Amino acid sequence: MIEPDDEFSFLPEQAAEAGLTGPVPHGERLTLTLPDGRRLSALRFGRPSTGSGIESDAPPVVTLLHGAGLNAHTWDTTILALGLPALAIDLPGHGDSSWREDAAYVARVLAPDVAAGLEAWTDRPQVVVGQSLGGLTAAALAASRPDLVRRLVVVDITPGVDPNAGPAQVREFFAGPTYWASRDELVDRALQFGLGGGSRRKAERGVYFNSRIRSDGRVEWKHHFAHLANAMAAAAAAGHAPAAPDDALARVLGDSGWEDLARTTAPVTLIRGANGYVTAEDADEFARRVPAASVESIAGGHNLQEDSPVDLGRRIAEITAEVD
């Protein structure tokens, strides 16, 4: 299992894999203590300079929100292709952000925390890009805090997507032991489920970013959903109904956001994966309900930021230029 010098050590390797040349941006980890004592974490990337150095202090112009069970590093290669100062936030319950005791991981609950992060870490309204759960959260943010959002980009999610289209597989993948002996065991499991980006090296990177070693030496997933999925599986095996907080896992993609999209004043773009969760019928419904929005498609699956990061990053850069 790879053990990098720090969490940004992979950037040159990721750039080379994507065929991207030139300097990579400087990355730094940010932490904000929320009013209730929880921690919100994020990654800030500067703009690569055209000279020999890296501009580390360029303020973000794009903010990216990941999907359920992921973390801010899912956007690394997309940000490399983007070529703009960016902020990638670990949603509550994910990455290095604190878990919620109520397990309420739905858009309108998460949006105020994201707003607090933008107030602390940005100096201008953002092009906010959200994938899956992050897309619904971005819509809730745009509706409630229009002063923070210049443009909304929703990636492969609509409020009308069938909540059972993808989470069942995710629950099965994460509903293993709560703790593991090593990260290599998690890599093996990811590869068994056909996950991890198609190679062991990529799977190792993903596991490194999405797991942590406990004080007792055992390994656990960083995000809360693995523990919720495990609890749901255990309850089902025992013939019991899942506890109320565990219902949050099934509600993630079913959280209604049509009202949020209707209230959004910023320009809206839906980018769906050609082989993702959003079907052509879903996209048509989105266009009907949000008639001012543009609807596009990029080759790839639900996690476009990992399947087609260069195409997605460059498209986000074009969208950002349109509103400058």
pLDDT for position 48: 66
pLDDT in the model for residue 171: 63
| pLDDT (0 to 100) of residue 249 | 43
156 a catalytic residue: yes
Ordered by start, the domain boundaries in the chain are 11-162+256-322
From the list 41, 132, 144, 308, the catalytic residue is 132
pLDDT at residue 289 in the model: 96
CB 35, CB 61: distance < 8 Å: no
Catalytic residue among 76, 90, 96, 156: 156
What pLDDT is recorded for position 16? 96
Classify 151 as helix, strand or coil: strand
Residue 218 has phi, psi (to 5 degrees) of -80, 165
Residue 26 annotated as catalytic:
no
- Please name which of 172, 182, 84, 180 lies closest in space to residue 127, comparing C-alpha atoms: 84
User: Of 246, 260, 302, 307, which residue is the catalytic one?
Assistant: 302
CA distances in angstroms from 42 to 73, 80, 122, 143, 183, listed in the order given: 9, 16, 12, 22, 23
pTM for this prediction:
0.91
Which residues of the chain fall below pLDDT 50? 52-54, 163, 235, 242-254
φ, ψ dihedrals at 274, nearest 5°: -55, -30
Q: What is the pLDDT of residue 179?
A: 87
Residue type, 106: V
Confidence (pLDDT) at 52: 44
Percent of the chain whose pLDDT exceeds 90: 70
Domain spanning 11-162+256-322: which CATH class is it, in words? alpha beta
73 labelled catalytic: no
Q: What is the mean pLDDT of the chain?
A: 87
Contact 208, 183 (CB under 8 A): yes
